[in-house]
């Protein structure tokens, strides 16, 4: 097997050396660029612009002008609906191209793009969903509280200029989850993709331009956190920051938002439990759980069920299935339909994951399989064979920290009360899955587990429902009515009687 990343890059005709500011694609002020190294081969597959602080300032001022004086925030619902529906149509038309660019970005195999939550169809559906809210986002009419001669109205208005910062693992979906509600609400946006996944996001932006969005409504600055991200989140003309990424960076974003009294939405990851009871379909539970940390992005997803809480009666059966699933993972060329999992995004993440695997063994967990690196032609890529740890204490590092790699920590429990205690003994609270055939138990666990989303005998992301977490998993929700409301401000209007108006 010979990886063909360079040839795919040439076929795609990648151009990523420009920034979008006020409707014009232009190079960065200082000409600085970043070389993108493909995680599967270590080959350089392109360069993109690094926006300096002066570029970021120009982008934010463009968005500010478009919000304060442009037509988009004042446009009729029909026009916004038309543009968002057109964006969705263009995404579907260019699905194959976007999938190719995503594979060139982060190595996500094309085969995994068939999973709905990671598909371009889901990305298009996010825009369709929020288009449907545009003409339904109303306020309230309330009676006067103390008998005054007036009526109380509330209105929702766009929050203003939005700084949207997205990570590398699902750049298309996460860009959509921020851009769609922001644009639907009438905001203007400055988007910063991750420096490790830029090509697909830039193509998405060009499709959005093609859909007829006015100049300046969407601006794009590319580059790393320093200098690009820092300049964006600290800019005084930004009204709201929306960020998906690590908890450590999330703290910096929240501090920047507090300093400027900016609105903020944060999605900061998880250490999600998969809770398996003895009356569950154990094979399905183990296969699905293991799949979240091995297939597709190799555990590099916030919703990965990387902490399996398994009843002692089915513990050995669960481990046997998980070990078998680990052996079925196929690494390689992301364009090969036989490839099922991606490399880790960069060498830093590779060494971080390997460090966690070593730490797990040092703390007494039993390594059932994996944890080493494949050799041969895969040695140049950032690959780690999926690791399954048994006999893990819930206090162990690998059970408490988000590893973001193909590592599963399996923790035993004895009864339902212990399962609840273990599930909630975490600083995160993004998602969970409960595996049982007992409906009453399923509902008891759903109420007891503190997580933003709880799946019963399976887990699926949907574009029209609220997604977000409890605790240190973040602030706010994406998806559903709450998402578009998060990009609005509520205005109260005290309206006098008709006679007084006349």
The reply to whether 302 belongs to the active site is yes
Measured distance CA(175)–CA(9) in Å, rounded: 22
Of the candidates 267, 402, 478, 485, the residue annotated as catalytic is: 267
Quick one: CA torsion of 465, 466, 469, 475, rounded to 10 degrees?
Answer: 160
HSE, side-chain direction, 13 A CA sphere, residue 304: 28
The reply to whether 187 belongs to the active site is no
Answer whether 496's CB lies under 8 Å from 285's CB: no
Secondary structure of 293-355 as H, E, C letters? HHCECCCCCCCCCCEEEEEHHHHHHHHHHHHHHHHCCCCCCCCCCCCCECCCCCHHHHHHHHH
Tokens representing 301 are: 């997803």
Answer whether 1's CB lies under 8 Å from 377's CB: yes
H-helix or E-strand spanning residue 18: none
Measured distance CA(424)–CA(421) in Å, rounded: 5
H-helix or E-strand spanning residue 204: helix 199-210
Measured distance CA(134)–CA(37) in Å, rounded: 40
Measured distance CA(292)–CA(301) in Å, rounded: 8
Instruction: Give the sign of the dihedral formed by CA 496, CA 498, CA 499, CA 502.
Output: positive
Q: Which parts of 92-197 are beta strand (E)?
A: 141-142, 150-158, 161-165, 188-192
Reference 245, options 133, 297, 168; nearest CA is 168
Tokens representing 318 are: 């669960």
Measured distance CA(246)–CA(36) in Å, rounded: 21
Instruction: Name the DSSP class of 15.
Output: -
Measured distance CA(345)–CA(118) in Å, rounded: 17
Reference 22, options 177, 230, 180, 213; nearest CA is 213
Helix 199-210 and helix 77-93, axial crossing angle in degrees, nearest 10: 130
Measured distance CA(475)–CA(45) in Å, rounded: 35
Reference 235, options 68, 28, 53; nearest CA is 53
Give the pairing of strands 307-311 and 273-276: parallel
Q: Is 49 helix (H, G, I), strand (E, B) or coil?
A: strand
H-helix or E-strand spanning residue 243: strand 240-244
Measured distance CA(251)–CA(257) in Å, rounded: 10
H-helix or E-strand spanning residue 388: strand 387-390
Of the candidates 302, 369, 402, 485, the residue annotated as catalytic is: 302
Q: Match 């076929």 to its residue by tokens.
A: 11
Q: Which residues are catalytic?
A: 267, 302
């Amino acid at each position: 097997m010979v990886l063909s990343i360079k040839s795919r890059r040439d076929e795609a005709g990648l151009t990523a050396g420009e920034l979008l500011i006020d409707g014009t694609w232009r190079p960065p002020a200082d000409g600085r660029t970043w070389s993108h190294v493909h995680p599967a081969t270590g080959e350089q597959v392109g360069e993109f612009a690094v926006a300096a602080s002066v570029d970021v300032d120009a982008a934010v001022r463009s968005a500010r002008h478009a919000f304060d004086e442009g037509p988009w925030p004042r446009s009729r619902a029909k026009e916004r609906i038309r543009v968002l529906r057109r964006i969705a149509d263009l995404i579907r038309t260019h699905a194959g191209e976007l999938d190719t660019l995503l594979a060139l970005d982060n190595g996500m195999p094309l085969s995994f793009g068939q999973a709905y939550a990671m598909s371009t169809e889901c990305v298009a559906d996010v825009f369709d969903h929020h288009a449907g809210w545009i003409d339904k986002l109303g306020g309230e009419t309330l009676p006067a509280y103390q008998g005054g001669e007036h009526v109380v109205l509330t209105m929702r208005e766009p929050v203003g200029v939005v700084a949207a910062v997205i990570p590398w693992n699902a750049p298309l979906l996460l860009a959509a989850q921020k851009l769609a509600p922001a644009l639907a609400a009438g905001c203007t946006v400055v988007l910063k993709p991750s420096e490790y996944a830029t090509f697909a996001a830039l193509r998405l932006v060009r499709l959005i331009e093609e859909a007829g969005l006015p100049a300046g409504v969407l601006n794009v600055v590319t580059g790393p956190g320093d200098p690009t991200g820092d300049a964006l989140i600290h800019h005084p003309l930004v009204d709201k920051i929306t960020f998906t990424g690590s908890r450590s960076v999330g703290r910096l974003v929240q501090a920047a938002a507090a300093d400027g009294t900016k609105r903020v939405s944060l999605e900061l990851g998880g250490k999600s439990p998969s809770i398996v009871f003895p009356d569950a379909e154990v094979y399905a539970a183990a296969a699905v759980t293991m799949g979240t940390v091995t297939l597709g992005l190799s555990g590099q997803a916030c919703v990965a069920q990387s902490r399996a809480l398994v009843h002692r009666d089915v513990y050995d059966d669960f481990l046997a299935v998980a070990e078998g699933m680990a052996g079925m993972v196929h690494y390689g060329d992301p364009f090969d339909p036989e490839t099922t999992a991606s490399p880790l995004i960069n060498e830093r993440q590779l060494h971080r994951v390997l460090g966690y695997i070593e730490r797990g063994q040092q703390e007494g967990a039993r390594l059932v399989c994996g944890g080493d690196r494949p050799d041969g032609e895969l040695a140049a890529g950032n690959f780690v064979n999926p690791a399954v740890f048994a006999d893990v204490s819930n206090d162990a590092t690998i059970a408490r920290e988000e590893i973001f790699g193909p590592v599963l920590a399996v923790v035993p429990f004895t009864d339902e009360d212990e399962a609840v205690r273990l599930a909630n003994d975490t600083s995160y609270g993004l998602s969970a899955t409960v595996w049982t055939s007992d409906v009453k138990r399923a509902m008891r666990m759903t109420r007891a587990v503190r997580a933003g989303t709880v799946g019963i005998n399976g887990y699926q992301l949907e574009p029209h429902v609220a997604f977000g977490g409890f605790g240190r998993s973040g602030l706010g929700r994406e998806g559903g009515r709450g998402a578009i409301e998060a990009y609005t401000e509520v205005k109260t209007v005290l309206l006098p009687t008709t006679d007084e108006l006349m």
